[in-house]
Amino acid sequence: MAERPKTPLLDQVDLPSDLNGLSDEQLSTLAGELRAETISAVSETGGHLGAGLGVVELTVALHAVFDAPKDKIIWDVSHQCYPHKILTGRRDRIRTLRQKDGLSGFTKRSESPYDCFGAAHSSTSISAALGFAVARDLGGEGGDAIAVIGDGSMSAGMAYEAMNNAGHLNKRLVVILNDNEMSIAPPVGAMSSYLSRLYAGNPFQEFKAAAKGAVSFLPEPFQEGARRAKEMLKGMTVGGTLFEELGFSYVGPIDGHDMEQLLSVLRTVKTRATGPILIHAITKKGKGYAEHRADRGHATAKFDVVTGEQKKTPSNAPSYTSVFAESLIKEATKDDKVVAVTAAMPDGTGLDRFMSRFTSRCFDVGIAEQHAVTFCAGLAAGGMKPFCTLYSTFLQRGYDQIVHDVAIQRLPVRFAIDRAGLVGADGATHAGSFDVAFLANLPGFVVMAAADEAELVRMVATAVAHDDGPIAFRFPRGEGVGVEIPDDAVPLEIGKGRVIREGARVASLSFGTRLQEVEKA
């Protein structure tokens, strides 16, 4: 008689509480099913795939050990939250990800009680988790606070501000460093190098594995000495010194795809932690599907699961981003004072092309917009012509520096603002809705918005020529309108618009890329 096919474990899980009856072996099986479901869903919707695939085992382990939503799990940036959404009552809607009236691509408080904190910009999780921990101890909502932060997000100062404060307050708090050596672009900076050194030594990993099994076979009098030796070697070889100096107990590095290790460490932390603790988990972005791609499957359009081929709409005109990049390269060829700065988005802003041509004049500072702006202010004060190239939504993170370090000092920093306006699937957190208002009210600031590709090219030339205070130009995501692009761009006259059509009854004023729609109207 044929054996009945087993019901997939994932079909038996609607909420995290359904994990309580599963064995550790079943939790490993569930992780495999969860990875397959995540790949299947994103193939139909598009979205951020790689980060979620990297934390599948961690997601299962966290929900198996902790008691959400009483315990607060905060996913930094939350590109990595799709598996979490599947396990928290939203599997039936996971194929509406990033669609109109569908699930958000990020955690969102109004969407589910399991999304305890909305996150779509990086490096906020430890601050929020500390807030939850202090609120708990002051009589607010109970439960543990767990921040899951990626290695790329550790390049931002806010993460250290939070850790410094958490170490001082000494509250029970769990930080999981999801270290996959891969943010959106390859990680940069001293922090990335430090994390690499922490787990580069294979001899330590082999000793640790051997010691774990060997200690129990020693006679009792020798066991304590062996444990001390192991701890001393760990301190000498790895140590997590930086985190310990900030007041955190350091555990790791551990294999973030080994369910046995994850469950063992998390259960120990759950029962024994008293103050702040950092668990250093090594993972692979895109694990099980896209880890061999250059971007590890960071963001993808709809795709064929078998071939991996993305289903992209063919483009009829160049993207605004590519037009900007090519224009800046032309200007930099003529003027060796032109330099470019971005914050962890060289590919998204087109500066990867600039970087390949002018390696010594292009800087990716990591996820650190505040630093990027003031760094540009210093470059301008030093006689260079810096282009601070950020997405509109990320530029908000450096606003104090724009006001204090650039505008008040009237420094000629050029702000190239990509993804300005509405951005569709990414939702409200990534819409570049506010830059015109928050820049135009600052003293001496020139603000421009391109109506088409030809204007954008002229705005780049205008910014290069402008040396009387700060200047900004904004352009949207996606392709242009297909107008002819001038070979030799002439700077615009500041403060003067152009008449497109003359009539007698109605006056229409257009600013930026709505010009095509205004003309139709």
Q: Which of 331, 369, 453, 455 is catalytic?
A: 369
Does the annotation mark 369 as catalytic? yes
Does the annotation mark 285 as catalytic? yes
116, 40 Cβ separation under 8 angstroms = no
Give buried/exposed letters for 185-215 (b at 16+ CB in 10 A, else e). bebbbebbeebeebbeeeebbebbeebeeeb
Angstrom distance (rounded) from CA 173 to CA 171: 6
115, 42 Cβ separation under 8 angstroms = no
249 sits in which H/E element: strand 249-255
C-alpha dist (Å) from residue 60 to 28, 207, 264: 8, 28, 13
Angstrom distance (rounded) from CA 57 to CA 214: 27
174, 146 Cβ separation under 8 angstroms = yes
Does the annotation mark 208 as catalytic? no
Write the DSSP assignment of 76-123 as a string of letters.
Answer: SSSTT-HHHHIIIIIGGGGGGTTSTTS--SSB-TTT-TT--S-B-SSS
β-pairing, 276-282 vs 173-179, is: parallel
Number of neighbouring beta carbons within 10 Å of residue 312: 11
Residue 220's SS3 state is helix
Angstrom distance (rounded) from CA 189 to CA 194: 9
β-pairing, 414-418 vs 173-179, is: unpaired
Phi and psi for 314 in degrees, rounded to 5? -60, 145
Q: Which of 285, 353, 385, 474 is catalytic?
A: 285
447 sits in which H/E element: strand 446-449
483, 513 Cβ separation under 8 angstroms = no
Q: Which of 397, 414, 419, 458 is catalytic?
A: 397
Phi and psi for 374 in degrees, rounded to 5? -70, -30
Phi and psi for 328 in degrees, rounded to 5? -65, -40
Sign of CA dihedral 177, 180, 182, 184: negative
| Packed helices 259-272 and 24-45: angle between N→C axes, nearest 10 degrees | 110
Write the DSSP assignment of 285-313 as a string of letters.
Answer: TTTTTTTTSTTTT-SB-SB-TTT--B-PP
Angstrom distance (rounded) from CA 421 to CA 445: 19
Residue 158 has which token pair? 């806010």
Q: Which residues are catalytic?
A: 285, 369, 397
